[in-house]
Amino acid sequence: MAHPALLAAGLACIAIPIVVHLLTRRRRRTVRWGAMRFLLEAYRKQKRRLQLEQLILLLLRCALVGLIGVAVAGPMRGGADAGGRARTLVIVIDDSIASGLVGPEGRSALDRSKAAAAEMINALDAARGDMAALMTLGAPSQALVLPPSSDLAGVSRAIAQIEGVQSAADWTGLCSQLDSWLSQSEVMSPEVVVFSQMLEGSAPVERAVRPLSRAVRWRLAQVSGGGLENIGITDVQPPRSLLVVSGLGPADLASPVRVRLLRSGLQLPDGEITSVGAWLDGVSAGGGLVEPRQVGRTSVTWSQGQTEAEASIAVSPSALEGLTSSGVLRVEIDRDALMDDNVARAPIELRQKLRVGLISSGRSGTGGLGQFDAADWVRLALLPGEEEAAGIDLAMVQPGSLDRSRLAGLDAAIVLRADLVGAGGWEALSRLVQEGGMVIIAPPASASSHAWIDAMIQSVGLPWTLSREAQVRDPAPALAEPGGDEATSPLRVLAGELSFLVRSVHVSRGLSIETPEQDVLLRMSTGQAFLVMARPEEARGAVALFSSAIDPSWTDLPTKPMMVPLFQELVRQGVARGVKGRSMVAGGVAPVHAPGGELLPVGEGRSVRLPEQGAPGLRRSGVWMVRDVEGVSRGLLVVNADAAGARAGARTPEQIERWLGPLSQGGLTLNAGGEQEGGGEAAERRPGIEGLAWLAFAAALLLGLCEMFFARLASHAEVGGAA
Partner 1 sequence: MPGPSQRPDSERLDASLYLHPQTLARLGSFELRAKMIVEGVMSGQHRSPYQGVSIEFAQHRPYVPGDDIRRLDWKVYGRTDKLHLKQYQQETNLDLLVLVDSSGSMNFGSRSFEDASGVGRKTSPDGRSYWSKFDHATATAAALAYITLHQGDRVGVVVFADEIRHMVARSSQRGTWRQVVETLAHQSVDRPTDLPRVVDQLLGKVSNRCLIALISDLFADAGHIAEALARIRHRGHDLIIFQILDRAEVEFDFESLSRFEGLEGEAKLNVDPRALRKGYLEALGEHNDRIARLARSFGFDYEQVHTSDWLGPTLAAFVAHRNAQIKKRKYG
Residues that bind partner 1 (CB under 8 A): 24, 27-43, 45-46, 50, 53, 714-717, 721, 723
* Shortest CB 37 distance to partner 1, Å: 6
For residue 580, how many C-alpha atoms fall within 13 Å in the half-sphere facing its CB?
17
Least Cβ distance, residue 16 to partner 1 (angstroms): 18
Q: What is the 3-state secondary structure (H, E, C) of 586-639?
A: CCCECCCCCCCCEEEECCCCCCEECCCCCCCECCCCEEEEEECCCCCEEEEEEE
Minimum Å gap between C-beta 33 and partner 1 is 4
Rounded distance between C-alpha atoms, residue 109 and residue 171, angstroms: 18
Q: Which amino acid is located at 360 in the chain?
A: S
Rounded to a whole number of angstroms, the minimum distance from the CB of residue 63 to partner 1 is 21
CB of 719 to partner 1, least distance (A): 12
Residue 430: in which H helix or E strand, if any? helix 423-434
The smaller minimum CB distance to partner 1, of residues 34 and 631, is found at 34
> Least separation, in Å, of the C-beta of 43 and partner 1?
6
From CA 497, how far away is CA 561, in angstroms rounded? 11
Nearest residue (CB) to partner 1, 32 versus 335: 32
- Between 24 and 184, name the residue whose CB sits nearer to partner 1: 24
- Give residues with Cβ within 8 angstroms of 318, minimum separation 6: none
Shortest distance, CB of residue 149 to partner 1, whole angstroms?
A: 58
Q: Provide, rounded to whole angstroms, the least separation between the CB of residue 27 and partner 1.
A: 5
Query: In the complex with partner 1, which residue's Cβ is closer, 39 or 629?
Result: 39
Nearer to partner 1, 127 or 723 (CB): 723
Q: Which residue number, 24 or 488, has a Cβ lying nearer to partner 1?
A: 24
Q: What is the secondary structure of 206-253 as a DSSP string?
A: TSPPPPPSS--EEEEEE-S--S-EEEEEEEEE-S-SEEESTT--HHHH
The residue (of 31 and 188) whose beta carbon lies closer to partner 1 is 31
With contact defined as beta carbons under 8 Å apart, do 694 and 69 qualify?
Answer: no
CB of 48 to partner 1, least distance (A): 12
Residue 478: Cβ within 10 Å count? 16
- Nearest distance from C-beta of residue 709 to partner 1, angstroms: 14
Task: Between 43 and 500, name the residue whose CB sits nearer to partner 1.
Answer: 43
Closer Cβ to partner 1, 15 or 20, answer by number:
20
Among 23, 148, 13, 1, smallest CA distance to 84 is for 1
Nearer to partner 1, 46 or 122 (CB): 46
Judged by CB, which is closer to partner 1: 51, or 318? 51
Stated length of the chain: 723
**Non-local CB neighbours of 494 within 8 Å, separated by 6+ positions:** 501, 565, 566, 569
* Residue type at position 286: G
**C-alpha–C-alpha distance, residues 237 and 259, integer Å:** 6
Query: Residue 509 carries which side chain, given as an amino acid letter?
Result: R
Distance of closest approach, residue 689 Cβ to partner 1, in angstroms: 40
Cβ nearer to partner 1, comparing 37 with 335 = 37
Contacts of residues 9-14 at CB distance under 8 Å and 24 or more positions apart, as own/partner, are 9/72, 9/697, 10/68, 10/69, 10/71, 10/72, 10/693, 11/72, 13/65, 13/68, 13/71, 13/72, 13/697, 13/700, 14/65, 14/68, 14/69, 14/72
**Within a 13 Å sphere around the CA of 362, how many CA atoms are in the beta-carbon half?**
23
Nearer to partner 1, 30 or 448 (CB): 30
Phi, psi torsion values for 41, nearest 5 degrees:
-65, -45
Phi/psi for 531 (5° steps) reads -140, 125
Q: Which of 245, 262, 265, 264 is nearest to 253 (CA)?
A: 245
Q: What's the burial of 387, exposed, middle or buried (CB within 10 Å: 0-12/13-18/19+)?
A: middle
Smallest distance, Å, CB 711 to partner 1?
Answer: 9
Tell me how far, at minimum, the Cβ of 703 lies from partner 1, in Å.
21
Closer CB to partner 1, residue 34 or residue 370?
34
What count of other Cβ atoms lies within 10 Å of the Cβ of residue 459?
Answer: 21
The least CB distance from residue 705 to partner 1, in Å, is 19
- Strands (DSSP E) contained in 302-399 are 308-313, 326-333, 343-351, 354-359, 392-397
Three-state SS at 584: strand
Cα separations in angstroms, 54 against 60, 707, 711: 10, 11, 8
